[in-house]
Amino acid sequence: MTDALPTTKSTSTGAAVMVQATTSDGGTGIQAPAANSNIFAVWGSGPYVRFILDADGDSHQDVGTAWTNFDEFDDVGLLTALAVGVSRPDDAIREQFNAFLEEHRGPLERVKLVTFNEDGHHFVNMSRLTMLLVGAVRQLGAQVKELCTSVDSIKRLLPTNA
């Protein structure tokens, strides 16, 4: 028998730590939780749950009043800086954008999107990453809308082929 842990990513794989959520079938047996049932929750010392994983595999995090819009930043630029900042040191994109990363590393840390560690194991705040992605889509959507309006205005000025 080997001591190696499985590396496959599938619904039938194992792991070093496994948690199984089941419910009673009303008799002596057990059954899988129903769809959308909360199967795993995490909370601190207070009464508030902060993270829930449900039976469908969806994860839910309490953002409370912590939702952050990064509108003072170019969100797409921050996403580029994030991609560069957390990539492997020998990654070509990191070499190409090293100056870009150094320019944006401070903002990434200041908005608590990434904790950069000297050992190269950087931690990304997935909640804030989701917020940044939403902001980037909003910013890009506004730019696309503006471009479409400009194109429509130009089309109205062009002669029609009747």
Strand, helix or coil at 30?
A: strand
The residue out of 14, 34, 62 marking a domain boundary is 62
Q: What is the mean pLDDT of residues 2-20?
A: 83
Q: What is the pLDDT of residue 130?
A: 85
Q: Is residue 70 part of a domain?
A: no
Q: Rounded distance, CA 72 to CA 15, Å?
A: 42
Q: Are residues 118 and 147 in the same domain?
A: yes
Q: Are residues 136 and 96 in the same domain?
A: yes
Q: Are residues 84 and 153 in the same domain?
A: yes
Q: Are residues 94 and 116 in the same domain?
A: yes
Pair 4, 14: CB distance under 8 Å: no
Query: Which range of residues forms the domain containing residue 119?
Result: 75-157
Q: Is residue 34 part of a domain?
A: yes
Q: Are residues 21 and 55 in the same domain?
A: yes
Pair 81, 110: CB distance under 8 Å: no
Give the pLDDT band (50/70/90) at residue 61: confident
Q: Is residue 68 part of a domain?
A: no
The residue out of 33, 62, 91 marking a domain boundary is 62
CA atoms within a 13 Å half-sphere pointing along the CA-CB vector of 83:
12
Q: Are residues 83 and 141 in the same domain?
A: yes
pLDDT (tens digit, 9 = 90+) per residue, 118-157? 877 777 788 888 888 888 888 889 899 999 999 999 999 9
pTM value is 0.60
Given a cut of 70, is residue 85 above it in pLDDT?
A: yes
Give the pLDDT band (50/70/90) at residue 115: confident
Q: What is the pLDDT of residue 149?
A: 94
Q: Is residue 102 part of a domain?
A: yes
Tally of domains within the chain: 2
